[in-house]
Amino acid sequence: MDIFRYLVDFDPREMEKEYYDAVIIGSGIAGVYTALEIPGERNIAILTKESIDMSNSVLAQGGIAVSLDKEDSPELHFKDTLYAGAGLCDEESVWVLVNEAAFNIDRLCGFGINFDQKSPGELALSREAAHSKNRIIHAGDTTGKEICDKLISGARAKKNIHIKERTFALDLLTEGNSARGVLAFDESSSAYKLYLSGIVVCATGGYGQLYAGTTNPEVATGDGISLAYRAGAELMDLEFVQFHPTVLYHPENKNFLISEAVRGEGALLRNIRNERFMPRYHELAELAPRDVVARAITREMEKTGADHVYLDITFKDREYLENRFPNIFKTCLDYGIDISRDYIPIAPAEHYCMGGIKTDTYGRTNINGFFACGEAACNGIHGANRLASNSLLEGLVFGHIISREIGRLLAARPGGEASLPAGYSSGRRDRWMDESEVRADIQRTMTEKVGIVRDGKGLAHAREKLERYRTQLGHRRNETVRHFELQNMLLLAGLVTESALEREESRGAHYRRDFEKTDDVRWKRHIVKRR
């Protein structure tokens, strides 16, 4: 795939510049926690393309997986993660995750997070799909918001952390194979700026907006993963896209997540004929891995000619549900659904990307000084299918590890400002196209051809269409945030489709109806893409 190195032309001699010890792109849990863990005397910038409180992390409902119960252990958490990952988890990374979980939860509690308690001083533990034990700590059903609010408050109070809102990170600046900073677009002034540093951390989240139906916010257009690819970073496991089985299906809202924790509390799935169906598909029934449940729901919808199924938790009383799931209860009630009496109409929607920027267990990429963590990264923890509530934990554990690594690098480096990168000129030209229609068509194509169930014919059709769009738009001058996002979406949609077409088997979240079996002989390996 032939692409330009940078999204825009620029001349560094004519641009405003700011110098930092480290630049972090992204304001979710991974990015903000990393900034807070870096030694306090270091000068840090956090770049976020909207307000700092808009991220996928804020929307996380279920909680964080950590083995705290006396009947649980890191070893059991390790085994559950590997089972969900369908043979593609990196065991070293998973060991790091489960063994450093409790330490980071303890540090997180130091920021004043109000996790639910079973009794004073004892955190309440719930269970989610594919977990063998109760190990999910939570703050009602708004865990992500509670954590983000407290971390952001902590970051705002730090004089060494500079938060740059409405700042779109366009590209990673490099010299040779080393990071030199970030080329960014200031959305308020419509001006380009250089944030110069020999250390850059990408924590921009995933690429859920490639799909028509997603639980992700509008900002999740894969910008960080795309800028990494243009700079020469390796991407891995892009074909593994997780669809959450239970997302509200209502005429006015088809992207509100109904947490895994609802099934963890015993909720049953029923088709429109009121038949419970999950025991026919998996021995764990409603608590089977997400890919299994999502495909089972899809098959039931096809069999019954319906566009949704139901989630039934009516056997729990209203007071319990209002206390345990206050946000879900209120939101459903706003749409006329009393979940203590009514079934919840649901359908699967895109939720999480297992693939991303390839890193090692220190968060390092193949570009010197360039790190990645959170959903933007791929260190092999999630394999082919993420275990529920491991995502927030991953951002914490590897954010802390990256902060230690950054502290070590900065202590070893001599002082002085980062060198100025060379400019860039591409010869792009103006070209009109209905961007909204192109964006919507990309999302339709990805949903229909590169979604829950795939096949070679559909994937080839998607690749051909995406290549036509890329040819038409690849040489167009980019000037607005919508331009930048569309280029990133086109790039990533093509790479996801290529990876899905290449993997001729079914594994985890990647299901091919023309290759239904898992093939460990040929495909128990990762697909890596590099510019």
What DSSP string runs through 355-417?
Answer: -EEE--TTSB-SSBTEEE-GGGEE-SSSTTSPPTT-HHHHHHHHHHHHHHHHHHHHHHS--SP
The contacts of residue 378 (CB under 8 Å, 6+ apart) are 235, 236, 237, 354, 355, 356, 357, 358, 359
Reported confidence tier of residue 325, pLDDT bands at 50, 70, 90? very high
Burial class (CB in 10 A: 0-12, 13-18, 19+), 50: middle
Reported confidence tier of residue 427, pLDDT bands at 50, 70, 90? confident
Question: For residue 145, how many other CB atoms are within 10 A of its CB?
Answer: 18
Res 416: pLDDT = 57
Res 119: pLDDT = 87
Res 494: pLDDT = 97
Report d(CA 517, CA 474) in Å as an integer: 37
3-state helix, strand, coil in the chain (%, to 5): 35, 20, 45
Among residues 42, 127, 230, 290, the one annotated as catalytic is 290
Q: Is the pLDDT of residue 420 over 90?
A: no
Report d(CA 264, CA 370) in Å as an integer: 38
Res 418: pLDDT = 65
Mean pLDDT of 478-502: 96
- For the chain, first and last CA: distance in Å? 8
Please say if 299 is a catalytic residue: no
DSSP code for 420: P
Mean pLDDT of 439-466: 97
Question: For residue 302, how many other CB atoms are within 10 A of its CB?
Answer: 10
What is the longest distance spanned by two Cα atoms in the chain? 69
Query: Can you say whether the dihedral through the CA atoms of 82, 88, 94, 95 is positive or negative?
Result: positive
Which of 73-77, 220-224, 259-263, 366-370 is least confident?
A: 259-263
Percentage of residues in the chain having pLDDT higher than 90:
81
Q: Is the pLDDT of residue 1 over 80?
A: no
Res 414: pLDDT = 66
Q: What is this structure's pTM?
A: 0.93
Q: In the chain, what are the domains? A: 19-239+354-412 (3.50.50.60), 246-350 (3.90.700.10), 435-529 (1.20.58.100)
Reported confidence tier of residue 433, pLDDT bands at 50, 70, 90? confident
Res 7: pLDDT = 95
Reported confidence tier of residue 239, pLDDT bands at 50, 70, 90? very high
Q: Is the pLDDT of residue 446 over 90?
A: yes
Report d(CA 421, CA 60) in Å as an integer: 38
Give the β-pairing of 356-358 and 344-353. Answer: unpaired
Res 144: pLDDT = 85
Reported confidence tier of residue 102, pLDDT bands at 50, 70, 90? very high
**SS3 labels along 70-132:** CCCCHHHHHHHHHHHCCCCCCHHHHHHHHHCHHHHHHHHHCCCCCCCEEECCEECCECCCCCC
Q: Is the pLDDT of residue 413 over 90?
A: no
Reported confidence tier of residue 299, pLDDT bands at 50, 70, 90? very high
Reported confidence tier of residue 265, pLDDT bands at 50, 70, 90? very high
Reported confidence tier of residue 165, pLDDT bands at 50, 70, 90? very high
Which of 137-151, 231-245, 387-401 is least confident?
A: 137-151
Q: Is the pLDDT of residue 490 over 80?
A: yes
DSSP β-bridge partners for residue 183: 171, 194
Report d(CA 20, CA 163) in Å as an integer: 12
Q: How many helices (H) and strands (E) does the chain have?
A: 16, 21
> At residue 123, what are phi and psi to the nearest 5 degrees?
-70, 140
DSSP β-bridge partners for residue 528: 236
Mean pLDDT of 293-321: 96
Question: For residue 330, how many other CB atoms are within 10 A of its CB?
Answer: 11
More confident of the two residues 222 and 416: 222
Q: Is the pLDDT of residue 47 over 60?
A: yes
Report d(CA 291, CA 1) in Å as an integer: 30
Report d(CA 222, CA 493) in Å as an integer: 10
Q: How many residues does the structure list for the chain?
A: 531
Side-chain-side CA neighbours of 124 within 13 Å: the count stands at 16
Q: Which residue has the tokens 């779109």?
A: 168
Res 417: pLDDT = 63
Which of 138-147, 313-322, 518-527 is least confident?
A: 138-147
Q: Is the pLDDT of residue 377 over 80?
A: yes
What mean pLDDT value characterizes the chain?
Answer: 93
Res 415: pLDDT = 59
pLDDT in tens, 110-151: 999 989 998 888 899 988 888 999 999 998 888 888 999 999
Q: Is the pLDDT of residue 432 over 80?
A: no
DSSP β-bridge partners for residue 357: 235, 377
Res 526: pLDDT = 98
Report d(CA 316, CA 322) in Å as an integer: 10
Reported confidence tier of residue 58, pLDDT bands at 50, 70, 90? low
Q: Is the pLDDT of residue 462 over 90?
A: yes
